[in-house]
Structures are given as C-alpha cells and as structure tokens.
Amino acid sequence: MFTALCLATAMFQGAAAAQDEAMFARTYKQGEKISYVVAEADQGSTMSVDLDFAVKKLVPGGRATVTFTLSNLKITPAGGAAPSASGSIDATTDAHNFPAKFKVGQDAVNIISLFEMVAASTLDKKVKAGDTDKWTWNGEDVALTVGVKVTAVDTAGKRLKAEIDAHATHNGKDPIDLTFDSVYDLANGSLVESNCKMSSPQSAGASMTMTIKRKP
C-alpha cells in the first residue's frame, strides 16, 4: 500500500511539472491581413496610428513578402510635430520573423513597422516556458541585438507569451533600449498584442511607452 501511494504521488508530481510545448514560429497564408493600433506616449504627448499588415506573396523557406501600411494618425496635444500620416513599405521576412533587408531612414511607416517586427520576434523552434535565445540583426542603417525569453505557453488557449529585450543603434549611434512583453497566436505565430518600454542610455530620464494591439 505504501509503495503504491509513493508511486501515485511521484506520477502526480511528474504530471504537475509537465509544461506545455509549442512551435514558436510564424506561418503565412497568401492574402493574409491583420490590422493593428499602435499607440505611443512620452512625457508630453501621445500618438496613435493604424498599421495594416498584408501578405503580398509567399517565398521559399516558409517566408513571405509582406506590406505594412500606415494611416489614421492622431497626435495629442493637437499641433504637435507629426510624422507622415500615411505610407506603405514592403519587407521580406527571414529568420526570427525579422526582415531580410530593411532601411529605416526617417519615415514613420518604416520605424513603426520595424518596431512591430521586433515585437513579433520568434524563435523558430519548439519551445516551453523559460526557453531563451539571442541574436544580432543588421539592416541597412539599423543594428539590433535581440534576446527573447518565453514566459508562458498555453496550448489549450492557443497563446504564447514572450519578453523581448532589444538594443538598437542607427548608423552606429543614437542607442535605444526596448523591452517588449508580447502575446502570440499559436495558430500561426502572429502577434496579438505587445507592450513596450523604450529608453535612451544617452538621455537620462527620457522614456517612451508603446502598445501594439490587433484590432478585432
């Protein structure tokens, strides 16, 4: 009786310790479309803008050429300095759901689209909570060091959560530190929402928050 009880307890503890595992990668469908609202806030102003994502074409290796389109820009207080209120850009995805090539420049659509892609970083492998990875990425004018930690995997609810820490420089200067708390749809690895904190090591006290949220 005692032996049977010990075995049952061990089996229960093993089952309790088991963790959900899931493939943490982005899969695309031709014509797929997702719309997000991106909101940013600093000490003196807020901004919101619609960011539409569309799969333009599928490419070999499970990648895709995608189009980001910016529209419906709103800034508070009214009269604040406004970037371009519209525009679109194409990017072809690569490892970790990052673009293969990308130039940020000074265009708002490029900057916001890159933020979305960092927020939507994937590990491209099967994962469980606690798994981590790190890599570097170099675009035409922006370089990133990125670290991702999976914080939760819920296969029943089809959701995965991850914390993404990124350090960015533009043409080798103007460093920015970004931390994203992102939620993904396990059905295809797409971003559901993300909350971000941004700060500059060169500007003490200067910080900004950003949210990216999929529209219903």
pLDDT tens string 157-184? 999 999 999 999 999 998 999 999 999 9
Q: What is the pTM of this model?
A: 0.87
For 75-99, give one letter per residue: b (16+ CB within 10 A) or e.
beeeeeeebeeebebebebeebbbb
pLDDT of residue 16: 43
In a domain, 123, yes or no: yes
User: Which tens digits make up the pLDDT trace of 109-118?
Assistant: 899 999 999 9
In a domain, 101, yes or no: yes
Q: What is the total count of domains within the chain?
A: 1
Q: What is the CATH number of the domain that holds 103?
A: 2.40.128
Domain hosting residue 125, numbered range: 21-214
In a domain, 2, yes or no: no
In a domain, 80, yes or no: yes
**Does residue 11 carry a pLDDT above 80?**
no
**Alpha carbons 184 and 193: distance in angstroms, whole number:** 7
